[in-house]
Structure 1
């Protein structure tokens, strides 16, 4: 019942009592009509028999059929009289007359017989007057039966009338039921139509169309519901309009913020590029001066200048990295590399600082076997560099230990890599630790030298670690040093052949030979690159642009191309493709090393796929350049 619709329920509620009432009344009145017809037939039969008996008394007494015929003939004219029979006192048939029109259709089931005795009435004659009054006793004593009358009536007329009555009753009942059905449907429609309208309107509200309204046609409770629903819709429509206006304002603010972030990132990228180009020339000249025979004071000035230039580059890189991390624009470049080799080289950029601050360093590693991990080597190196820089800033006359260990997961599908950096510098109290990962924060004591710090190193290390799916934890206590713990889970594969570590001391003693073409538009960078490469032992030719370089390639047999990425006449990608086409035509191997100030590195992969062997970031480190040149000329 609960699953039926409101319209069906209202129809059932109206029809069932009406049908029950009409059927009951119809059956009652039809039954009563049948009884009345039966009583009328009995009354007529008894009345005819009683009237015929005294009328035929004399004829029965004298047994005269002719007289009886005259008495009976009018009776046979009745439409429902089938026959009349008159018997004498000896039960001898005196007369039998039948209605020929009914006799053929009459049968025992359709006949009803009525009988009446024919009584002889004695009239006493006494005195001179005729006394017709007799008491009942005298009448009973003087009356005697002289015969009987048998009269049969057909029930066919009664049956026809009953059938007609039944038909009329059924028609009346059906008419009443039909009228009730029409009225019920009208009432149910008047109930369900506003409810259906409410339901459809609510569906529109559910779809977010709050401008729809319910047509207010009802009164009473449904009218109140319609009014309240329209009021609620008006309120929701107003709220949605305000929400939409707020969302549009937020979207506008977001676009403006995105544009501002994009402009900031572009500005920082351009500034970093502009920083690196002149600093590359400065550091190149300083490194060349440092290797000359100069007095100790001049050497000290040069070392301080190199340190200051590196600090400027570091600050520029940190601001740029943090901007990229803030806008989630950093894309990881995954590749397989040896983590042991990475760890062993981690202290190399900081050897000058270690000497100045008298810091001892130790590197150790313990892996279950030689492996290659799949990760972004450059970003992982940045994390370690930032931790080492933070340790150097807070350590004087102490030591810094770097440890690497790891083991595979239980299913042997990935490798858990743990990196620990332990220093003996000043520690941090709990309050300082809580602020350590905040941007532009620094910690120092009033009774100890101030440590200059941009406040971005640990914040960048933390964000980079989380992007690579790792964790960074710092354990520290005041005056007890710091312990930095990194943990990563990387895909890995075993090393089939152990890589051979290049001995830096041997490389320094062995000159690098080969003919190198340097493509550089800046005259200062040309001189720096030529002087550095000449000191390595190579023969260097210079090309001021791409066209000159391509022309020299056709004339001279070069073993290496060293080029800046910002060539003035030809796009660097087009230049690389032309060099590779020349290489295929000449059927020779011609490696390409690019020097770039593009810190973002978004085009590096495209250049490597085009055929570039490797890239170095400006300002170029002398040892890194020597290592790459040696590797490519081998």
Structure 2
């Protein structure tokens, strides 16, 4: 109700409003008209009994009239129907019992009508609990009076008054009218409530249908977004594959120092663009709830050295002191965790620390804060002496596509997804990222992670030679299914480093045909091709009658970023996959492993 009615209000419309339920409005209307009717009845009754000189009835009727008038005024000022109902029932009960035990010392038709009215009124107005209470408060004393009158001839030191016929007529007539009005009023309210309930049900059904349609549209939109990101990813990553691949090939040809510097810049720029694309795709994957976490054996110190090793040169270029500090208790242990997600988290934190630090230091620490027989809790910390973060911006930096302010974005660049990805990856594991930062002093990001620990001792793993021996795969017969001529040229140049002369098939159908009539040790299969895509081609190869040909190892080469690409690859019968752009040593290792298993 927007405007509260004044004390002098007597209008029903002023105390009704849309916020009240249909039942509450019916209760208020019943009280409003019912109190008016009771006041008129009391005036008629007072005129009758006063004329007959019946002082006890005059007093009780006057008290009732004054009480009803007061409650009517209270109702028109503040429509507190529950309080007024309690007041009416208490007064009605007291007057009823006073008439039975003192004034009349008898139970007559009027008494029965009053009890009936109280029972109906209490249930309709206040519900089951209070209905039982007020019903028993009236019925039990009346029944007790019957027993006393029957057993002991109830007598008190007060002469009962006799009610004249005219008074009886007024009371009976008024009680009947009140009873009829009460029942008809609530019957009407019940019918209206049922209609309203049916209308609400119909509206709810319509809303459910609209909600279902909206959810369907949202699912289609989400699917379309994923497809769009996948398509855009493929279109961006395909030329990037050529740029990075050609750059790697040129770097493998021992270029002059000035050429190497230019190639390093080219590779860095392409890798930076790839990192931005991957950030967007990773965040979309996280937001879609399609992230799974592995639990595989990892050598934590070695993993941290590999992550931070690539940042040493970048820190030196900016004149920063970069230091990695690993707790000695973490060495020579076999941990179980997800190296990909740990790498993603630490990489983003260190990358940010170096980006936003112009001078000073960047520290990366891994400290064992709890070491048990089968578990270890490690505190990871990345601290810098960079620009820091204002306290009122600490929440904003974790929002996707957001940085501390527009000045930071313009000066330092970036997508603003790094910290959002870190925070959500940790939250999905039930972990919390803590931030301690002061503007102009620096920032420290830290989190705790618990690992299962094996009782075995970790063996140091030798770092593989980034440039594989060119003669290792020279004996292989390789079939490449690829429709993009730039990628074909790139693959030919790359495989020539390993003394491999591949056979090319421009689509999946030709790949199946060439494999059926030729002998190949391995197939490198692009997934998006005309005529027949890589998935269908792999399924057709697995159906070949010759078991040697149908069992040929297949590696998928894809620039796609669909969330379920790995499942689709394995479901179609392929053995492994490499995402474009890829590192030559990754492809070399997977080819070597699959061929050695097949042989």
Provide the TM-score with structure 2 as the length reference. Answer: 0.59
Match of 1:137 in 2: none
Deviations 1:330-373 (A, max 9, x none): 45566555544533332466677456545565545445575655
Match of 1:542 in 2: 504
- What aligned pairs does 1:619-634 form with structure 2 within 5 A after superposition? 619-629=581-591, 632=594
Match of 2:547 in 1: 585
Q: Residue 393 of structure 1: CA displacement?
A: 1.9
Whether contact under 8 Å (1:469, 1:489) holds in the other structure is: no
Q: Distance in 2 between matches of 1:483 and 1:508?
A: 43
Change over 3 Å in CA distance of 1:513–1:347 after alignment to 2: farther
Match of 1:264 in 2: 225
Match of 2:395 in 1: 434
- Give the secondary structure class of the aligned counterpart of 1:395: coil
Q: Distance in 2 between matches of 1:555 and 1:480?
A: 69
- Give the secondary structure class of the aligned counterpart of 1:450: helix
Q: Residue 310 of structure 1: CA displacement?
A: 2.2
Deviations 1:57-111 (A, max 9, x none): xxxxxxxxxxxxxxxxxxxxxxxxxxxxxxxxxxxxxxxxxxxxxxxxxxxxxxx
- What aligned pairs does 1:125-204 form with structure 2 within 5 A after superposition? none
Q: Residue 437 of structure 1: CA displacement?
A: 0.8
Structure 2: which 5+ residue stretches go unaligned? 1-128, 152-176
Whether contact under 8 Å (1:616, 1:625) holds in the other structure is: yes
Whether contact under 8 Å (2:387, 2:441) holds in the other structure is: yes
Q: Distance in 1 between matches of 2:416 and 2:197?
A: 49
Match of 1:392 in 2: 354
Q: Distance in 2 between matches of 1:301 and 1:275?
A: 22
Q: Residue 256 of structure 1: CA displacement?
A: 3.8
- Give the secondary structure class of the aligned counterpart of 2:462: coil
Match of 1:326 in 2: 287
More divergent stretch after superposition (312-321 vs 335-344):
335-344
Q: Residue 285 of structure 1: CA displacement?
A: 1.8
Q: 1:342 aligns with which of 295, 303, 312?
A: 303
Q: Residue 604 of structure 1: CA displacement?
A: 0.4
Q: Distance in 2 between matches of 1:372 and 1:618?
A: 31
Match of 2:383 in 1: 422
Q: How many residues align?
A: 443
- Give the secondary structure class of the aligned counterpart of 2:450: strand
Q: Residue 442 of structure 1: CA displacement?
A: 2.5
CA RMSD of aligned residues (A): 4.9
Q: 1:527 aligns with which of 457, 469, 489?
A: 489
- Please say which structure displays the higher CA radius of gyration: 1
- Give the secondary structure class of the aligned counterpart of 1:455: coil
Q: 1:219 aligns with which of 180, 183, 192?
A: 180
Change over 3 Å in CA distance of 1:611–1:230 after alignment to 2: closer
1:474 aligns with 2:435: yes
Match of 1:94 in 2: none
Deviations 1:2-51 (A, max 9, x none): 9xx99x999x9899999989999xxxxxxxxxxxxxxxxxxxxxxxxxxx
**Higher fraction of helix:** 2
Change over 3 Å in CA distance of 1:356–1:629 after alignment to 2: farther
Change over 3 Å in CA distance of 1:20–1:626 after alignment to 2: closer
Match of 2:3 in 1: none
Change over 3 Å in CA distance of 1:630–1:426 after alignment to 2: farther
- Give the secondary structure class of the aligned counterpart of 1:219: helix
Q: Distance in 2 between matches of 1:610 and 1:280?
A: 24
Q: Distance in 2 between matches of 1:22 and 1:446?
A: 95
Change over 3 Å in CA distance of 1:378–1:253 after alignment to 2: same
1:488 aligns with 2:449: yes
- Give the secondary structure class of the aligned counterpart of 2:402: coil
Q: Distance in 2 between matches of 1:600 and 1:339?
A: 29
Deviations 1:574-601 (A, max 9, x none): 5445656779933999644322212234
Q: Residue 460 of structure 1: CA displacement?
A: 1.6
Whether contact under 8 Å (1:583, 1:590) holds in the other structure is: no
Match of 1:28 in 2: none
Change over 3 Å in CA distance of 1:471–1:21 after alignment to 2: closer
Change over 3 Å in CA distance of 1:612–1:469 after alignment to 2: farther
Q: Distance in 1 between matches of 2:358 and 2:278?
A: 25
Whether contact under 8 Å (2:374, 2:455) holds in the other structure is: no
Q: 2:421 aligns with which of 451, 457, 460?
A: 460
Structure 1: which 5+ residue stretches go unaligned? 25-215
Q: Residue 280 of structure 1: CA displacement?
A: 0.9
Q: Distance in 1 between matches of 2:577 and 2:301?
A: 22
- Give the secondary structure class of the aligned counterpart of 1:270: helix
**Higher fraction of strand:** 1
Q: Residue 266 of structure 1: CA displacement?
A: 2.0
Q: Distance in 1 between matches of 2:540 and 2:250?
A: 37
Whether contact under 8 Å (2:333, 2:458) holds in the other structure is: no
- Give the secondary structure class of the aligned counterpart of 1:483: strand
Whether contact under 8 Å (2:332, 2:458) holds in the other structure is: no
Q: Residue 617 of structure 1: CA displacement?
A: 1.5
- Give the secondary structure class of the aligned counterpart of 1:532: helix
Q: Distance in 1 between matches of 2:223 and 2:300?
A: 34
Q: Distance in 2 between matches of 1:337 and 1:248?
A: 50
- Give the secondary structure class of the aligned counterpart of 2:411: coil
Change over 3 Å in CA distance of 1:534–1:456 after alignment to 2: same
Q: Distance in 1 between matches of 2:460 and 2:568?
A: 27
